[in-house]
């Protein structure tokens, strides 16, 4: 099931042609490489727009990340746990 975390995480990020992409992030002492961004959406919070990503890791795990341009910072919103 999905575990709701909302934990701040460090994410290696690429900014390309006005778009943000997570490449890998550190969580629970390990580096998780993003194999594929499987979904993107956004949500307005006040005057800012937060960018959300669902990602699949190279280990076929599933996560949801949020990029907040106000920090800027990243939050690990959800992780799939078996």
Partner 1 sequence: MILLVDMDAFFASVEQLHHPHLRGHPVVVCGDPGRRGVVTAASYEARPFGVRAGMSLQEARRLCPQAQYVEGNPEKYVALSLRLLDLYLEFTPDVEPFSVDEAFLSVTGVGSTLEGAAKIARDIQTQIDQRVGLGATIGIGPNKLIAKMASSVEKPRGLTAMTPESFREWFWPRDVSEMWGVGPKLAERLKPLGIATVGDLARAKASDLEGAFGVIGPQLREAASGHDLSPLIPYHQGIDPKSMGHEVTLSSDSEDAEYLRGVLLRLSDQVARRMRSEGFRGRTVAIKLRDHKFVTHIRQATLREFTDDHRLIFERAHELFTRLWKGGAVRLVGVSVSHLERRSESFQSELFVHHAREGQLRDAVDQVRDRLGEASLIPAGAMAGRARRSHVPFGAISSRSLIPRSGRRGASSP
Q: Which residue ranges make up the site for partner 1 (CB under 8 A)? A: 1-2, 4-8, 38-43, 45-47, 52, 54, 56, 60, 62, 64, 66, 70, 73, 75, 77, 80
In angstroms, give the least distance from the CB of 59 to partner 1: 11
Beta carbons of 62 and 77 less than 8 angstroms apart: no
Nearer to partner 1 by C-beta: 23 or 70? 70
Beta carbons of 23 and 31 less than 8 angstroms apart: no
In angstroms, give the least distance from the CB of 16 to partner 1: 20
Residue 25 CB burial class (10 angstroms; 0-12, 13-18, ≥19): buried
């Amino acid at each position: 099931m999905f575990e709701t975390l909302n934990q701040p995480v460090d994410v290696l990020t690429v900014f390309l042609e006005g778009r943000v992409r997570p490449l890998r992030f550190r969580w629970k002492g390990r580096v998780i490489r993003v194999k594929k961004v499987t979904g993107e959406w956004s949500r307005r919070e006040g005057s800012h727009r937060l960018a959300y990503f669902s990602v699949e890791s190279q280990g076929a795990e599933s996560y949801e990340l949020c990029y907040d341009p106000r920090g800027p910072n990243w939050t690990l919103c959800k992780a799939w746990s078996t």
